[in-house]
Amino acid sequence: MTKLGKIIGTGLAAAVAITAGPFATAASAAQMDDCVLNVQSGKTTCYTSLASALAATRGSAQQVIGGILFEDRYRAGRSLAIEIGNPCVTSQTIDYQVNIPLWFNDLTSSYEGYSNCLVQVHENTNYGGRYDGPRGYQPNLSGILNDAASSVRLW
Ligand SMILES: [Ca+2]
């Protein structure tokens, strides 16, 4: 490395440290905050952005996103995308259902359906308790269902 390279390298490292702040760890430099849960396999895969998560799904054969749960109102914050095998059909019957992984449990504040799916979130696991939906878009879960969803159905 040239002397100039060393200076630039040191400067970048210092800048990152300052930006990251006192509570950051090395892992938080690129937080894997946007995840995709595959309903069929139960496997969750996480990415550093929602755009990356959706791009990965578009690149996978035979999979589409049926809905996305968001940590904050109006599609903000961390997200959990629900990956399904085929688009939803009629909105008259339940096409897919899955329990929300523990890391996203009781976090949902807004949600949106995709691939012709309507989303319904339930207060408890296994589709119990109170629920909201099915809807195409819920921008602001309020009251008892805010930060409470533990399972989700796609209609
Ligand atoms: Ca709950």
Number of domains in the chain: 2
In this prediction, residue 56 carries a pLDDT of 86
Q: Print the SS3 string covering 9-58.
A: HHHHHHHHHHHHCCCCCHHHHHCCCEEEEECCCCCEEEECCHHHHHHHHH
Half-sphere exposure of 106 (CA within 13 A, CB side): 4
- Token pair, residue 117, equals 């799916």
Same domain, 36 and 21: no
Same domain, 11 and 57: no
> Residues 84-125: pLDDT tens digits?
999 999 889 999 999 999 999 999 999 999 999 999 999 999
Half-sphere exposure of 39 (CA within 13 A, CB side): 22
Same domain, 36 and 70: yes
Ligand 1 geometric centre to CA of 7 (Å): 51
Ligand 1 geometric centre to CA of 130 (Å): 9
Of residues 19 and 105, more confidently modeled:
105
Same domain, 10 and 62: no
> Closest Cα to residue 67, out of 120, 143, 123?
120
- Token pair, residue 91, equals 């909105």
Same domain, 47 and 73: yes
> Residues 50-89: pLDDT tens digits?
999 999 888 777 899 999 999 999 999 999 999 999 999 9
- Are the C-beta atoms of 53 and 47 separated by less than 8 Å? yes
Length of the chain: 155
Residue 60 sits in which domain range?
31-154
Same domain, 5 and 54: no
Angstrom distance (rounded) from CA 66 to CA 87: 7
Ligand 1 geometric centre to CA of 54 (Å): 26
Ligand 1 geometric centre to CA of 53 (Å): 25
Same domain, 90 and 137: yes
Same domain, 77 and 132: yes
